Amino acid sequence: MFNEQQSGKMWSGRFREPLDAEFEAWQRSIVFDWRLLDEEVAASKAHASALCSAGILTKSETVELRAALDAVAAEFGSNAGKTRVRDHATAEDIHHFVELKLVERIGELGLKLHTGRSRNEQIATDLRLYVRAQIELVVDGLAGWASALVEQARAAGDAVMPSYTHLQRAEPVLVAHWLLAYVEMALRDADRLLDCASRLNFCPLGSGAVAGATLPLDRTIAARELGFRAPTANSIDATSDRDFILEYLNTLTFVGLHLSRFAEEITLFATAEFGFVTLPEAFSTGSSAMPQKKNPDLTELIRAKVGRIHGAAHAVAMQLKGLPLAYNKDMQETQEPAFSAGFVPQMLNLVARFTAALEFNRERMNQAARLGYLNAMAAATYLVHKGVPFRSAHEKVGRAVRLAIEKGVELEGLTIGELRQFGEEFGEDFYAAVTLDATLDCHDVIGGTAHERVHKALDRAAEWIAALANQNVAEATHAGA
């Protein structure tokens, strides 16, 4: 007769026939949820504490179970050990694997651990712990990248470059100001991730399969031990919620988009046509055919990675669409997309080191910022200060630019006589108003590229990054309750 002992399954009592062998292999999740070993052990230890408080386990049994769980984590926690978890011959999933190993170590006591819980709540808890830990890694990575940007900005000092709109030169800005634009993106991304963490930081343990545990468990025990803010409020929602995975992946899409924008600009700026940046050799490769080449492989790969992240988010959205409450096997398919974004912390660490190693061609950037009538806005502002309405000032300076183009000079190359044919308001003080420094400093507003504003922005960004680097995701969301 077919029975549980023969099958090794956690659920086989109701079944007479074994699973189709191909289907059994196809539906096993151990081949990817092995990544949740540490989270499964932590959640199981917390559940043991709750069972002890409810009188289901004695104190000595609880101590023995927790020690055995620690031993399983120690034995299989290395990379080689986790490979053994993944390749286990009979375990259906990470929950089954841990139970099998417990029974091997401590016998029937290992079977008592599953009292009062369901795999539905286990996986919901494990995934929340995993995503929360990944968020902490990504936030640390964003802080590292932002720090590298700030250090480059400080090193750039008063170096100037053109800014661009429509990929055409627009106005001169401090190099530091351009770098700080990416710091702002990184800080927003970190804030989004912390916001996501605050919503996922509730503990599903005690939710049972769908209706709640059948034992009088104090759910706050497990929640507190695992660093969650509180238990989840509804057992049906807790076991079927994967919003946090979708929100996490959508938020990582922003990270990928911002890294991609940075990578694209660096790739452009490193071309001979721009010549603003020298690529670090440690992050570049050559051509197998053309001996002179130094290719921007890191930035090109970073530019592409957002596609993987967004693809994972889209996959989860489609997996969750139209699912009835509560748990459905479809939800197993949300795990691999979540795991597939695990490369993001490493990518951020690489881009931080790459950013720190960049060398800027200040002379080339400065020259580019002085050519192409990038002081035209400052010239119009000069006329505004003379009482000319901006629309009229814009027209007058536009005509002056057209004359300068015809003569092959910059605006400051026109004589006062030539300028006054467009308006009597032009005076000798015009030339001082359109120097490079004056053009920068006329943007003297919060968020502008004026020297003093950028210096203050650098100090403020450094303070925010320091606070972010000291952020503990679990503690921060717990403290915010």
Residues taking part in catalysis: 166, 287
Helix (H, G, I), strand (E, B) or coil at 285: strand
What is the spatial distance between Cα 125 and Cα 222, in angstroms, rounded to a whole number? 10
HSE-CB at 455 with a 13 A cutoff on CA atoms is 9
CA dihedral 62, 68, 70, 74 (to 10 degrees): 180
| Residues in CB range of 301: below 8 A, 6 or more apart | none
What is the spatial distance between Cα 471 and Cα 465, in angstroms, rounded to a whole number? 10
Residues in the chain: 481
Strand partners, 285: 295
In the 3-class helix/strand/coil scheme, how is 447-460 assigned residue by residue? CCCCHHHHHHHHHH
- The DSSP H or E segment spanning 294 is none
Question: Helices in 408-449 by DSSP H: which ranges?
Answer: 416-420, 430-433, 436-441
Helix (H, G, I), strand (E, B) or coil at 427: coil
| Residues in CB range of 322: below 8 A, 6 or more apart | none
DSSP character at residue 295: B
What are 9's two structure tokens? 């399954």
DSSP character at residue 28: -
Residue listed under structure tokens 């009597």 = 424
Q: Measured over all CA atoms, what is the biggest interatomic distance in the chain, rounded to whole angstroms?
A: 107
Please spell the DSSP secondary structure of 211-249, one letter per residue. T--SS---HHHHHHHTT-SEE-S-HHHHHH--HHHHHHH
41 and 70 in contact (C-beta within 8 Å)?
A: yes
What is the spatial distance between Cα 199 and Cα 331, in angstroms, rounded to a whole number? 19
DSSP character at residue 374: T
Helix (H, G, I), strand (E, B) or coil at 253: helix
Q: Is the dihedral of CA 376, 381, 382, 384 positive or negative?
A: positive
Nearest to 326 by CA among 259, 239, 386: 239
Burial class of residue 55 (count of CB atoms within 10 Å of its CB; 0-12, 13-18, 19+): exposed
Nearest to 319 by CA among 338, 296, 292: 338
HSE-CB at 335 with a 13 A cutoff on CA atoms is 22
